[in-house]
């Protein structure tokens, strides 16, 4: 087996609290195993610009508690083109980088697959507040973002109660309703409006009007940003008009991405970072680290991307036909589990609020 001497680590796409904890774990364990670590700054852009610096133990001190990413991040269009990938491969060979741990969301994994295909094997660690990576039950940053949302909605609820108002709160998640669903439960929202499950507004408004008659003063409705940019504002107008309850709109936006990571995110990031290093020193690259039933497992990076496309409805019939039936069955099961879980959370919200 070929011994790996030097790896790179990068963070890419939207930052997520806990990315630093992952960078720290990768660096520390790799150094312990005698593997040198090169920090690649600004995501894939750093490979194009040759923005790279060797990381030592002390370079990753006192970052486990910090939000954002010490390696910085970027969304890099040039890396989508063959010329960009060629530059990245050349940079890796100049620095003797034999493999890269890439920390980020689905865009990051697409980049990791391209880089892997071009001869630089990658290992992916899912880091995004959206929790929208199909292969893992949880992504790094999701827990912290949800806790931030809960803290902020609790504050909105104070003022909603004082003024006897409804507040429609838009939360992030890109096309995924995961943040909206779980935070809705935690703040006692009337409903979570998400792309994945239709909302029966007649029912919601009837419940609100009835509850108001019975003395309920505040109402929170959580809307996922995937519903569209102007959706939340329009929804608040519609709710006010139809229910007669004064309604305000609040977009939480990027504040959800900042802040010190929770214990859950620090531990998950550390476990995934360590697992990635353990695997790559064993010569196991081209993988994505995933949380399944409280265990960190590795999934082939191509399969992880395929199951992700399947979940997001982006897998073409041709691509689907090429997947062996046993694998396709397993992928469909993963996607179905996720969808069923969302329906279950939605059912809870619908049946225990108001």
Catalytic residues: 130
- For residue 182, the 8-state DSSP code is H
Told to check if 84 binds ligand F6P by CB under 6 A, we report no
Distances (CA, A) of 332 to 70, 122, 315, 336: 37, 25, 12, 6
Of 15 and 114, which has the nearer Cβ to ligand F6P?
Answer: 15
* CA–CA distance, 6 with 4 (Å, rounded to integer): 6
Of positions 14, 39, 126, 261, contacts ligand F6P by CB under 6 A? 14
* Residue 104 is a binding residue for ligand F6P (CB under 6 A): no
Tell me: does residue 19 bind ligand F6P (CB under 6 A): no
Decide if residue 105 touches ligand F6P (CB under 6 A).
yes
Rounded Cα distance, 288 and 350, in Å: 35
Total residues at the site for ligand F6P (CB under 6 A)?
Answer: 10
Q: Concatenated DSSP letters for 139-174?
A: -BTHHHHHHHHHHHHHHHHHHHHHHT-EEEEEE--T
**Minimum distance from CB of 116 to ligand F6P (Å)?**
22
Which residue among 130, 137, 143, 308 contacts ligand F6P (CB under 6 A)?
Answer: 130
- Please identify, among the stretches 46-54, 57-65, 124-132, 230-238, the one whose residues bind ligand F6P according to the rule CB under 6 A: 124-132
Stretch that binds ligand F6P, among 58-66, 166-174, 232-240, 263-271 (CB under 6 A): 166-174
308 binds ligand F6P (CB under 6 A): no
Look-up of token digits 């519903």: 227
Is 354 in a helix, a strand, or coil?
A: coil
Which one of 29, 172, 250, 345 is in contact with ligand F6P (CB under 6 A)?
A: 172
> Rounded to whole angstroms, how far apart are CA atoms 184 and 170?
11
Q: How far apart are CA 20 and CA 14, in angstroms?
A: 13
Which positions ≥6 away from 228 have C-beta within 8 Å?
none
Asked if residue 17 binds ligand F6P (CB under 6 A), the reply is no
121 vs 261, beta carbon nearer ligand F6P = 261
Q: Which is nearer to ligand F6P, 143 or 225 (CB)?
A: 225
Question: Closer to ligand F6P at the Cβ: 233 or 240?
Answer: 233
Token pair recorded at residue 3? 């011994």
Residue 143: CB minimum distance to ligand F6P, A: 14
- 10 Å CB burial of residue 324 (0-12, 13-18, 19+) is exposed
Q: Out of 157, 165, 257, 286, which residue is the one contacting ligand F6P (CB under 6 A)?
A: 257
Q: Does residue 129 bind ligand F6P (CB under 6 A)?
A: yes
Helix (H) or strand (E) holding 83: helix 82-95
Name the site residues for ligand F6P (rule: CB under 6 A): 14, 105, 128-130, 172-174, 225, 257
């Amino acid at each position: 087996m070929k011994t790996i001497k030097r790896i790179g680590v990068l963070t890419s796409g939207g930052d997520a609290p806990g990315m630093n904890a992952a960078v720290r774990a990768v660096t520390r364990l790799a150094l312990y195993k005698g593997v040198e670590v090169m920090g690649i700054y600004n995501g894939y852009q750093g490979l194009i610009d040759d923005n790279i610096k060797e990381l030592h133990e002390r370079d990753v001190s006192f970052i486990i508690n910090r939000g954002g990413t010490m390696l910085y991040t970027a969304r890099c269009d040039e890396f989508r083109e063959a010329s960009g990938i060629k530059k990245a491969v050349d940079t890796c060979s100049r620095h003797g980088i034999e493999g890269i741990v890439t920390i980020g969301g689905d865009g990051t994994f697409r980049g990791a697959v391209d880089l892997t295909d071009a001869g630089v094997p990658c290992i992916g660690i899912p880091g995004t507040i959206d929790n929208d990576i199909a292969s893992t039950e949880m992504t790094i940053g999701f827990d912290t973002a949800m806790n931030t949302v809960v803290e902020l909605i609790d504050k909105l609820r104070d003022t909603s109660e004082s003024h006897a108002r409804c507040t429609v709160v838009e939360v992030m998640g890109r096309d995924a309703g995961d943040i909206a669903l779980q935070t809705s439960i935690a703040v006692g929202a009337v409903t979570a409006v998400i792309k994945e499950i239709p909302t029966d507004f007649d029912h919601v408004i009837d419940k609100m009007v009835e509850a108001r008659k019975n003395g309920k003063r505040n109402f929170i409705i959580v809307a996922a940003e995937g519903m569209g940019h102007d959706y939340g504002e329009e929804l608040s107008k519609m709710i006010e008009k139809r229910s007669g309850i004064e309604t305000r709109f609040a977009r939480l936006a990027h504040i959800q991405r900042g802040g010190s990571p929770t214990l859950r995110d620090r531990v998950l990031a550390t476990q995934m970072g360590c697992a990635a290093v353990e695997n790559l020193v064993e010569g196991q690259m081209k993988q994505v680290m995933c949380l399944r039933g409280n265990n960190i497992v590795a999934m082939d990076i191509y399969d992880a991307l395929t199951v992700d496309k399947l979940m997001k409805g982006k897998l073409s019939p041709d691509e689907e036909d090429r997947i062996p039936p046993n694998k396709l069955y397993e992928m469909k099961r993963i996607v179905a589990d996720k969808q069923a879980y969302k329906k279950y959370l939605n059912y809870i919200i619908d049946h225990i609020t108001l």
